[in-house]
Structure 1
Amino acid sequence: MSYIDGFVIAVPTANRQKFIEHAKTGDSVFIEYGATRVLECWGDDVPVGKQTDFRKAVQAKDDETVVFSWIEWPDKATRDAGMKKMMGDDPDPRVDPAKNPMPFDGARLIYGGFAPVVELVA
């Protein structure tokens, strides 16, 4: 079964195109290092919850849009090796923030790795 990295980000709505360009550059590196699929999803129907929600989780401001993203890997070993190549002792320059700056506040990015427990396919 696959392994998934998930991300939730608050991106200034005005930076939508900058975000897309940033993602295309960085996401191609994930694919090169073994990811099988990367999705970057611009918030379209993100309701405000009574106790918690995506907006609260990333402290999104009124002029920001929530982005939900994930990277699919064939397994955790491939993910770990790919991440090491990207961000290890000799990081890939294509993901260097000085060369491909994040068009959002990275301090409010939420991420984690997940092992699927149920998968249904149509």
Structure 2
Amino acid sequence: MGSAYYQGFVLAVPDANKEAYTAMTHTGWEIFGQRGALGVVEAWGEDVPRGKRTDFFRATKAVDGEVPAFSWIAWPDRATCDQAEQAMQDDPAMQDMPEMPFDGRRMMWAGFEPIFDSATAS
């Protein structure tokens, strides 16, 4: 595989905050795009089954009226991702972010190196 790198996110958003969350995703893309991200995908839970042992609702401790959201950011490589994260932490403007339309304490995220990509498979 190439040097691509992905950050994945799972969170629960109050259904009533869908419009605010959508607006926030556009702002997020501007911030990440300026720092080298190749793309961002934000997905709103539509067909999210409840499992017997684990599921997106349990993972995010979602309560009634909250919808799981799933997103990812594509980066050209991990170094660009790490540099962007550091730049955002060092940017004083990032400290004055408006309140998020979800409980960020229940958001999960992680970085991933791809091991298969159908777009580049031969």
TM-score, scaled relative to structure 1: 0.91
Contact 1:85 1:92 (8 Å CA) reproduced: no
1:12-23 correspondence runs (5 A)? 12-23=14-25
* 2:50 alignment partner, SS class: coil
Could you say which residue in structure 1 is the equivalent of 2:47? 45
Could you say which residue in structure 1 is the equivalent of 2:70? 68
Identity %: 43
CA–CA separation in structure 2 for the residues paired with 1:92 and 1:44: 36
How far did 1:32 drift? 0.7
Amino acid in the other structure paired with 2:10: V
Could you say which residue in structure 2 is the equivalent of 1:121? 119
Q: Alignment length, in residue pairs?
A: 118
The answer for unaligned runs of 5 or more in structure 1 is none
Q: CA RMSD in A?
A: 1.4
CA–CA separation in structure 2 for the residues paired with 1:113 and 1:8: 12
Could you say which residue in structure 2 is the equivalent of 1:56? 58
Runs of at least 4 residues of structure 1 off by over 3 A?
none
TM-score, scaled relative to structure 2: 0.91
CA–CA separation in structure 2 for the residues paired with 1:32 and 1:42: 24
How far did 1:8 drift? 0.2
Contact 1:43 1:66 (8 Å CA) reproduced: yes
Amino acid in the other structure paired with 1:76: R
Amino acid in the other structure paired with 2:105: A
CA–CA separation in structure 2 for the residues paired with 1:73 and 1:39: 12
The answer for unaligned runs of 5 or more in structure 2 is none
